[in-house]
Chain A
């Protein structure tokens, strides 16, 4: 048993409260009608199985019931970070030591501003 940090509850909770939901950051094709069978099949069925850093989707099933992402090392099973939906990971295959926290923070702020803009756009 180990503890996982839920970014929405903002505290560590027992592993038992969570469920893994597979690979994270899988974007649905914008126009499914225009996809070839192969592209659609890749989207539906094919998943990465990397050795090393892997981004996964988890759900805090018993707590706040929100989905969030975990960056996990598949060799050591170490959880490097957990982050909310829509955010970019700090630890990636290209940056196994983690990108500088300031860069990520700046990106997240920019993404947040973008989201607000889009919402306002939707209203207008």
Chain B
């Protein structure tokens, strides 16, 4: 290892202790723009899955796949634009680029997971041509779920990406343009869509989705 290579790193648990109140990126938006309630007429239902653990993994696919299998029990998605999930569906890994994956786990697990992954990757870190990076981005983004018979129509109004079931089968996930902003769009199950938004776009996109969903009597599930 050359002298310029940093051989150390700091790992912080960024989730504050309970004394500090935590707020999702949409807390202010829900307060300011309101939260239309779900009624019988609602053909789209929006739900925020706030405060999940998001990790970005970067590095070689084979090396990371081994570590992830050891720690999480399921592997990285092998093909571009796909995602893998565990049996409960609560933990998922999505392909973002040839050397980048997004791991989403229930909130609070991400710090432990990062430590375990670093331990599993420990040997790789010593070798000069097996670099990897794990970044905790939980505070930077949030996950929204869209459900309902008109969810796909709402997406069609918002993104140029083809969301027809033939082009967007279950288990696919892409980073694309949505209402002129960028987000990660994924389809973990037959009738549920997930949107991973950046914190700075969250308010704009929340209001966009409410506006786009008004004709379907969109409701926000608490």
Contacts and interface: CB of A to CB of B under 8 A. Distances in A.
A63 B98 contact: no
A34 interface: no
Given A63-B175, A63-B176, A123-B129, A14 B97 contact: no
A64 B96 contact: yes
Contacts, number: 45
Contacts of B97: 8, 63-66
A106 interface: no
Given A9-B80, A119-B129, A123-B128, A14 B98 contact: no
A17 interface: yes
A122 B177 contact: no
A11 interface: yes
B26 interface: no
Contacts of A64: 80, 96-98, 100, 175
**Range class of the A interface residue count:** 10 to 19
B165 to A, nearest CB: 16
Interface string A108-124: 00000000000100110
Interface residues of B, number: 17
Given A8-B97, A66-B98, A123-B128, 8 more contacts: A8-B80, A9-B80, A13-B176, A62-B182, A63-B175, A64-B100, A64-B175, A123-B127
8 contacts: A8-B98, A11-B81, A13-B176, A17-B177, A63-B97, A63-B175, A64-B98, A64-B100
Interface of A: 1, 8-11, 13-14, 16-17, 62-66, 119, 122-123
